[in-house]
Chain A
């Protein structure tokens, strides 16, 4: 795994020392909040509804066991014993006291982590496929490129004051598990007709107030041109992007207003200049980085222990069927640890749970853990014969829920339980939906289904790309929830369509039940997934289920 070089280490330590002095000066009154706010945001420190919040970057979602243990220690020593994993592969601490934050940052630096560029109008944490370097359908591990992008974008002098925040995601597989089409720059590793590996580059994707699917700006970019090309995109955006209106400042609007062809023309022009300047230094760096991501040695081993457990223990079998994905190496699996126990807060893990996951990563997954944008944790390289032991230990820690990809595996942003920008709550809605469908024992019958919930139009909960999306709003001083259907965050990305009028807080779970009822009653066969059904029949049966009874009541 990649570890920080001396330059990174010195840079992070210096930033912590600076911030420590800034916090002291804020507390003793020599800095005003107006002066201090940009400084704290540069270091990932937000002020939310009830307390401060520290957002820590987990670059491309990859962690080693020591880092995970340190996250546990920080949660217990300076927070309330848990952390919240986010849809951008970050972790958030919801209750730090201001004076403790420099110590927390120092503790992070001890394991090569930080909170830099997790806020502000900069290039944010670069995210990647959480199955990177292990997936059976992968062309190449995207993380060396994500790391190259991280080093290039960290403290990049030209890009500290962009018109707005800027998010990059990289995927190296055929299936898109990183929602690359909803990013400012989405990078897909592809093979061209000549068999060469390069990138398909998309720009202008994004959710939020004006959701847009990214547009292809370059069908095939040779690998070695990655940095100059990305720099060209960001610098064209830096000039063209609007600074007069926050809501029109993201690159998706720049692309929309100028047209993809004009943006492409300007990017290519700038790229021609930059390409010379890079001169290949980045390629030497990439070679070093790549060595750090070399795949672990995964020898073939007998599968008897796995087969025995699989055939004799139905609980284990259900878990293995839903939470384990085939690995590129025969006999191995990718374990997705669900942080979505029914009724719990999506994405939360206690310090104890983090340590259990760290230990399992160490013993059974070649020292690697991943955080997914779906707010789960992944052990990427587990031999199947170790799965019974892994499952038993997860179960004992309350981490054995077999629901990955099912209706209770819900993405939910913090919403109005924490976030100062929220217009409604999202966590309790997720908790109630998961609890309800667990009671109904329908989860496995319903099959693959992604519900995504955001507590405001900013869409951190990716509701636009949920098969069922839920958006919490404030309608005349009351929480109200809009439902969208048919969204898709994969390579077939689509923005969901609104069903119609929204639902009150106590009506949202019944509304979801009606939607599921319509699907179960009318699907062709159990094999027809919710999304396939929606694509075949459209909105009508759902509208009927949601609103007809109401209309009849009103008419009566």
Chain B
């Protein structure tokens, strides 16, 4: 049996501001992690990543990040991804300020 696939979201940085963005199910880039498409199938995840990476005039450095379902939508797993949803811890800058 193949190992359990951890669900993923597609994330990247916006080309113009560098801000963290996530791919939604309807192919928008959102700044909110909870609006991201939670991808539960490995093959589908790869296809979504290829699609996202092709949008080179919108985003930079797309990759798949682990996520889990939460009450308001997908939630990040690794602390690095948690920080990316917020911004730095020394100033109220980045997403947490919006």
Are A49 and B79 touching (Cβ within 8 A)?
no
Instruction: Name which residue of chain B comes closest to A428, CB basis.
Output: B89
The interface residues of chain A lying within 8 Å CB-to-CB of B88 are 50, 94, 417-418, 427
| Distance between Cα atoms of A48 and B80 in the complex (Å) | 12
A50 nearest in chain B by CB position: B94
Cross-chain contact A477 with B83 (CB below 8 angstroms): no
Contacts of A97 in B (CB 8 A): 16-18
Q: List 20 A-B contacts (CB under 8 A).
A: A27-B16, A27-B57, A29-B56, A32-B56, A47-B13, A49-B83, A49-B84, A51-B17, A80-B93, A95-B93, A98-B16, A98-B17, A99-B16, A345-B91, A416-B79, A416-B83, A431-B90, A474-B79, A478-B79, A479-B79
Q: A residues touching B (Cβ–Cβ < 8 Å)?
A: 26-29, 32-33, 47-52, 80, 94-95, 97-99, 345, 416-418, 422, 425, 427-428, 431, 474, 477-479
What is the bound-complex CA distance between A461 and B16, given in angstroms? Answer: 29
Q: Name the residue of chain B whose CB is nearest to the CB of A418.
A: B88
Report the separation of the CA atoms of residues A97 and B95 in the bound assembly, to the nearest whole angstrom.
15
- Which residues of B pack against A, CB within 8 Å? 13, 15-20, 56-57, 60-61, 77-80, 83-84, 87-91, 93-95
| B-side contacts of A478, CB under 8 Å | 79
Q: Is the CB of A50 within 8 A of B87?
A: yes
CB-CB nearest 8 A-B residue pairs: A417-B88, A29-B57, A51-B18, A52-B18, A50-B94, A345-B90, A427-B90, A428-B89
Interchain CA distance A97-B61 in the complex, whole Å: 17
Contact A47 B57 (CB under 8 A): no
The docked-state distance in angstroms from the alpha carbon of A336 to that of B57 is: 46
Contact B90–A51 (Cβ < 8 Å): no
A427 touching B87 in the complex, CB below 8 Å, given contacts A29-B57, A99-B16: no
Q: Which residues of chain B are within 8 angstroms of A431 by Cβ–Cβ distance?
A: 90
B17 engages A425 (CB within 8 Å)? no
Q: Which residue of A lies closest to B16 (CB)?
A: A98
Instruction: Select from chain B the residue with minimum beta-carbon distance to A35.
Output: B56
Given A29-B57, A33-B60, A47-B61, is A417 in contact with B19 using a C-beta cutoff of 8 Å? no
Interface centre among B61, B77, B91 (most CB of A within 10 A): B91
Q: How far is the CB of B15 from chain A (nearest CB, A)?
A: 7
Given contacts A32-B56, A416-B83, A478-B79, contact A27 B15 (CB under 8 A): yes
Residue of A33, A98, A417 touching B61 (CB-CB under 8 A): A33
Answer whether A47 and B60 are a contact pair too, CB < 8 Å, given A416-B83, A479-B79: yes
Which B residues are in CB contact (< 8 Å) with A479?
79
- Asked if A50 and B84 sit within 8 Å, CB to CB, the answer is yes
- Residues from chain B with Cβ under 8 Å of A52 in the complex: 17-18
What's the nearest-Cβ distance from chain A to residue B57, in Å?
Answer: 4
A51–B60 CB distance below 8 A: no
- Shortest distance between the CB of B5 and any CB in chain A (Å): 17
Closest to B15 in A: A98
